[in-house]
């Protein structure tokens, strides 16, 4: 009996998806749970695995199509019991052949982002030909586009002699459609700017106490919990304490109503090859430092591999973004609507400051709170930042709850 392959159910917040690319073609043998096609939503790339081993007999929708939950994608003719084993062995054969290929090509193939895989396949490239600029050599779509542009560009020519007629080498522009995620980010940023009264307040934090605490306990912490002690856990806990004292910063606007949330779902911005996404730490007030570090690490890994789920990106009452990892010293982050505020962390930099009448060198960080001035007054915003500052400069407050 022919098996139908349909678009998986999409969450209520996601209306449709784009068919990024088929991994198989008609007539190919497929194994059970083997990925058939990639679907890109506004937030994540979804893989559609085969529920059975068999042969792909028909493809109903082509690359680039917009699809909705439950829509028919393809048909598979299931294999008999004996054939299923053959199908599985058949899919293993290419892997064995790939093992004999150059190690560099094999390693690079495993580091292609979903969007990069599609462009590589469309242009009949070998994965090992493209140099990756991401972490650990991961190849993004931009890397593939750059490789193609360099491949097609003419050889460089010597500049014309001074005073001679200017002869410019041929130049070209490349028009690349936005991914759904990039388009969604653009829409949300414009929407936030257009519908909220955004204002940013700043403060600075002396992180010496946190730096000393990490240096003192980092080895014992990692040995005990199996994860490194970073700064994000301290900032997350500090923000939760501040949100408890100033609940309007944790609220959102719904029409003419202010919705106050009695829970603390903290979004943590993560940069990926496809753009910025914001996984959510549910009930962050109930998480210890180790729980927060583990959750952030797991989210970041799944986000960069394209395996994070839509549910993990949905919701959130407040967001923290860390531009300091890229060297940013100061910025004004944009609120992640419908939230009403976002905290921006920045680069830790040794600076001279006055402490008890003496000039000393301390690890300082500027922090920024962008907030919706329609419901959050400047007093609340400033006191929120002061609370974050106080907790970070005296981490014992996290234990004592003061």
Residues annotated as catalytic are 373, 377
SS3 content of the chain, % helix, strand, coil (to 5): 40, 25, 35
214-235 b/e (C-beta count within 10 Å ≥ 16 → b)? beeeeeebeeeeebebbbbbbb
What angle is formed at CA 45 by the lines to CA 40 and CA 46, rounded to 5 degrees? Answer: 95
* Three-class secondary structure of residue 273 per DSSP: coil
Long-range contacts of 194-199 (CB under 8 A, 24+ apart): 195/337, 196/253, 196/335, 196/337, 196/340, 196/372, 196/374, 197/372, 197/373, 197/374, 198/334, 198/335, 198/370, 198/371, 198/372, 198/373, 199/370, 199/371, 199/373, 199/378, 199/381
For the chain, what is the radius of gyration of the CA atoms?
A: 26
- Strand-pair partners of 254: 257
| 334 φ/ψ angles, rounded to the nearest 5 degrees | -100, 135
Yes or no: say if 234 and 392 are a contact pair by the CB < 8 Å rule: yes
Token pair belonging to 57: 């007999």
With tokens 């903290």, the residue in question is 266
Alpha carbon separation from 59 to 66, 76, 351 (Å, rounded): 15, 9, 62
């Amino acid at each position: 009996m022919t098996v139908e392959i349909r678009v998986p159910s999409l969450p209520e917040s996601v209306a449709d998806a784009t068919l990024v690319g088929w991994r198989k073609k008609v007539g190919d043998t497929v194994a059970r749970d083997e990925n058939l096609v990639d679907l890109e939503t506004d937030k994540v790339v979804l893989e559609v695995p085969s529920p059975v081993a068999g042969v792909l007999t028909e493809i109903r929708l082509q690359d680039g199509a917009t699809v909705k939950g439950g829509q028919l994608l393809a048909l598979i003719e299931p294999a008999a019991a004996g054939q299923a084993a053959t199908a599985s062995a058949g899919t293993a054969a290419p892997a064995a052949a790939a093992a004999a290929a150059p190690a560099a090509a094999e390693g690079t193939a495993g580091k292609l982002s979903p969007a990069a895989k599609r462009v590589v396949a469309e242009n009949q490239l070998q994965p090992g030909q493209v140099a990756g600029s991401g972490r650990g050599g991961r190849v993004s779509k931009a890397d593939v586009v750059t490789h193609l542009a360099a491949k097609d560009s003419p050889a460089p020519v010597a500049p014309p002699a001074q005073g001679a007629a200017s002869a410019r080498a041929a130049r070209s522009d490349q028009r690349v459609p936005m991914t759904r995620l990039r388009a969604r980010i653009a829409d949300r940023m414009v929407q936030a700017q257009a519908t909220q009264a955004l204002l940013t307040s700043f403060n600075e934090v002396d992180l010496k106490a946190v730096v000393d605490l990490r240096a003192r306990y980092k080895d014992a912490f990692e040995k005990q919990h199996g994860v490194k002690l970073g700064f994000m856990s301290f900032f997350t806990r500090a923000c939760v304490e501040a949100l408890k004292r100033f609940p309007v910063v944790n609220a959102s606007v719904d029409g003419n109503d202010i919705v106050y949330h009695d829970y603390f779902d903290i979004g943590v911005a993560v940069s990926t090859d496809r753009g910025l996404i914001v996984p959510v730490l549910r009930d962050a007030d109930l998480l210890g430092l180790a729980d927060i570090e583990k959750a952030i690490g797991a989210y970041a890994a799944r986000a960069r591999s394209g395996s994070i789920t839509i549910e993990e990106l949905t919701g959130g009452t407040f967001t923290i973004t860390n531009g300091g990892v890229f060297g940013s010293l100061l910025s004004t982050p944009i609120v992640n609507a419908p939230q009403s505020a976002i905290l921006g962390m920045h680069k830790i930099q040794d600076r001279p400051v006055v402490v008890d009448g003496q000039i000393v060198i301390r690890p300082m960080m500027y922090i920024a709170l962008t907030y919706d001035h329609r419901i959050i007054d400047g007093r609340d915003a400033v006191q929120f930042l002061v609370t974050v500052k106080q907790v970070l400069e005296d981490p014992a407050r996290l234990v004592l709850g003061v």
